[in-house]
């Protein structure tokens, strides 16, 4: 079988990915229930000890300003995480648990989740400042967190090819998306959309991921996608210590009507808390 044929067959497998466990599917359903109570959500999640442990690890991390005081998930939701945030984080943790990435030596799980957490945090913060009905902060956070989940899918299905993609991206200074499209004929955003549809997550997240690279997209999610694009680029620059390249991106935020001074103050805060984001990424990845 030709390598291309092998890759195409492997990619087709995503449409037949094993379903999440019954417990995980129940948690996904609960996470997406807008009317669920904190008590009910904590009860449903309690059947997944690894998920609970990682959420408690996040709640007790410096990222949220705690220091090992929270031992109960319900308390963590009420005092630290909040209902909307725990919904988002639970989906991220479940994705990480379901898709094993250990066979791809070039994949850096901690860096992946640092990118995801920072993109999510920036998206949420700036959407709060916008006060625009078209950009809901909790939705922006979840969309930012799951934006590149398709990369984990690729690493899970095609660890050898993903190693090559990640190496080429680093050596050629290309984006992972470009290298993946070149080798596989599909990028992480297309893979992510398929995964989220397979797991029956809300359509808005599928749309954000599907249209993220489509500059011609015009639709109901145009504004949230544009904001997340800027936040994703900011996250990359911040985590790579390319601070001199931030001003043009911050200027783009001004076009949303955001104050330059307020935006800069939040970026300064993020820069000071980078180590805490790393610790939160460790909690999600289970390292």
Residue 230 has pLDDT above 90, yes or no: yes
User: What is the pLDDT, as a whole number, of residue 15?
Assistant: 58
CB atoms within 10 A of CB 112: 20
**CA–CA gap between residue 189 and residue 278 (Å, rounded):** 24
Three-state SS string over 260-283 comes to: HHHHHHHHHHHHHCHHHHHHHHHH
pLDDT digits (tens, 9 = 90+) for 116-155: 989 998 998 899 888 888 788 888 988 998 999 999 988 8
pLDDT of residue 209 exceeding 70: yes
Q: What CATH fold (topology level) applies to the domain 3-285?
A: Hypothetical protein af1432 (1.10.3210)
pLDDT value of position 287: 65
Segment 227-234 shows an average pLDDT of 94
Share of the chain above pLDDT 90, in %: 20
* Residue length of the chain: 287
pTM summary value: 0.84
Domain boundaries, the chain: 3-285
Q: How many angstroms separate the CA atoms of 241 and 285, rounded?
A: 23
């Amino acid at each position: 079988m030709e390598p291309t044929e092998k890759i195409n067959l492997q990619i087709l497998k995503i449409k037949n990915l094993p379903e999440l466990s019954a417990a995980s599917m129940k948690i996904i359903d609960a996470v997406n229930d807008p009317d669920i109570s904190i008590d009910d959500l904590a009860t449903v999640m309690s059947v997944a000890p690894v998920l609970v442990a990682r959420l408690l690890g996040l709640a007790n991390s410096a990222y949220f300003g705690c220091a090992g005081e929270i031992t109960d998930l319900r308390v963590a939701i009420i005092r630290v995480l909040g209902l909307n945030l725990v919904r988002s984080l639970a989906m991220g943790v479940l994705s990480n648990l379901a898709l094993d990435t250990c066979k791809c030596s070039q994949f850096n799980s901690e860096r992946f989740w640092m990118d995801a957490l920072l993109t999510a945090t920036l998206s949420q913060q700036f959407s709060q400042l916008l006060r625009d009905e078209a950009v809901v902060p909790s939705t922006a956070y979840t969309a930012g967190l799951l934006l590149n989940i398709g990369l984990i899918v690729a690493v899970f299905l095609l660890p050898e090819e993903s190693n090559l993609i990640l190496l080429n991206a680093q050596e050629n200074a290309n984006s992972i998306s470009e290298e993946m499209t070149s080798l596989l004929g599909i990028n992480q955003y297309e893979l992510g959309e398929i995964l989220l549809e397979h797991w029956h997550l809300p359509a808005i997240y599928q749309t954000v991921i599907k249209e993220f690279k489509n500059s011609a997209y015009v639709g109901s999610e145009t504004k949230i996608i544009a904001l997340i694009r800027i936040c994703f680029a900011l996250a990359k620059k911040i985590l790579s210590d390319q601070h001199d390249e931030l001003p043009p991106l911050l200027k783009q935020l001004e076009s949303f009507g955001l104050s330059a001074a307020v935006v800069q103050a939040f970026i300064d805060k993020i820069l000071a808390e980078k180590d805490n984001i790393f610790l939160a990424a460790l909690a999600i990845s289970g390292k």
